[in-house]
Structure 1
């Protein structure tokens, strides 16, 4: 505190020393206050930084007494910000079903599985922010707290990027986020119970294991294998690898199995089944089956009855058809996928030849108009497009013709499939081997059906 005759200047500093205040007192002789008096009072309290000279000048010109005025203010330090982790996937999966436009609730598309690809960035570091130091009114530097770096939550099947700032999946699979401490990728996704409204449809880049049933109307799609411990109803299962049904499938006319590898099941009923390689079951009934290599029906029943099968090489079954003469089509000797591609190529050729004919007709008419000098700009554009279409289709037709020829040759070469009955083939069964066909009119037992020239022959079981 500084006294000057009857004038007193009181200086106070805040506890954090970031602000300094003065209060002027007048004892009554009307002495004027000078700026030097205030500055001297501040200096006596070691206030040297952040002085607000404009306020001091105002108080000198128009002194106000018995009131506190802030005449110096320091700079508060700015603490840094801790680093953080940015996640490039949804860390909080919402199990609430979505409301569709028509007002219905979609219980099937819950999107509970988050699939990632190999090499995909899962999360990355946000660097910490360095603090900015401050200074108090007494000129002392106030230290700031720097932000701390975050740590990447590294779990299983993930690796650090080259710069150490990101986590990358080392395999394709399902990403799991556990309490912000671990990010892992698992190649298998396990459904502990049924695939139903609680799970929705399942779609995963790896393999899927289902401990319960797959209910009607739902779908399971996997880049790897699918294994189901329960029963599959009228559902759709697609697998890039194998499909294994521990029990079986009651498709109810709308069930589908599509596998890039093998399909193994105890029984399959009223379903559509397509496997690139082999199919093995105890019984397949009233279903449409496609199989690239071998269809094998063994076990207690070893039965194939009703519906149709198209198999690349061989059908082995105990019983084909039934004593009720159930219509059953068996076709072997050509890869179903090759036959399907050949059929599509032929259909594509017919369509393109029709389009070329239309383009030719348009070109002929427009050329005549051009010769007569009656071709408008719009018609000229149509002519140009028609010529381009013809050139493109002519080139495309040659490609498709070559493909069809190759496929046709392959079909001719592969027409050597076999049908082996370990017990009986009943009347009502139609057997096609390559381009040859035979209707079974009386029971055939313990035999192998094979192609001999243009006929289907019945030979011994070990043929």
Structure 2
């Protein structure tokens, strides 16, 4: 079939191939584009051959392309979609709606397609470049596993009606009873298979699995109906600070710590409903909360190694009592006592004749008082009144850290953290490899596996602690120059303000924000 004939050449189709026989040179290559626009089914496959043919007339024809069919069906890579390509919208076949759809069906049958075909109109062919004429049934992916955990109460102060924060009505300890629900896993589902355009089954992807993270020594799992449930092995206090559900040992004293209990030294958390009587000692790894309204008088020591100390009432230390916390200390008032916190100290009413050591010391900005004693921090002190009208000596000081020493400390923490991270990565890979076999494990193997996970979790917790310590050190270095002593109401004569090497004893009553400005203390 001759497609184009002129004084220079003839272009013809034979067996769906396109040939050119050149009689005379001089036809410009770029003018061949006009011919291709007129012959929409002509697809050039060798541009170089065409160039040579136009420059070298010869009796023998050159093969330069292919003759496309009017209709072409193409299948997507995933075999889920059939698309229609029309190479000549002017063809009579395209304008005959019945013949158009009949031809599409014939092509689909010849390709082995088994999907339902959409009806196509001539208007669609003219106006739409890509026409979807058939689709398979998509597989439905299974639902991912769902993990739910017990939500422990957030430790935060209650806000009173006057807008002030109450740091003494807080949930420090979340008690858990034996067999109590702690979490659950709704397993992933398999999903539903689909069918591609060839009528073949397409297997559905199962939902993504997930593992419950828990300490097997204090938490166990059981299969209940359509889910796996976590329950407490024993009474304790909930701890999910590192993402792993576990129960710390927890001791509740219904009355007082004294002659009936003796001194307490406990690896978990302690809740004391009453008080700690004079001369007795309480130490715990976790939080210590003393709920008695009368507070504590004359105890020897109250110390939380890694948690908070909350004394709902006040403290009368009799110059001998010491309170220490790995995190924060909360009390209504403090008399003649040493308070040492690795983080902050919060006192509602007053501190009298006491030594306070922390990063920050906060007293109520409207009525909180520091009278006498020594308050030493690394960042800030906020109080309403400092000293008293009788000019009792009251020392408020901020220790400014040495940058070089603190940076060396941060580097030491970073070195330890990097070593632990390498070990944790190895253990994490090992746990991940075994996790896929969890459903096939015996109870003993599961217990060993959970212990391995717990070891990895312990490493991760230590890494987090080190990273937090690094950030604390770096923050203290960045905060150098921002130290502040804020007295919102009155600072009386006899009050000594000191920030780093700069100090001043007040000679008259004043108030305000005291800091280093222009190389000196702005008193």
TM-score (norm 2): 0.38
TM-score (norm 1): 0.43
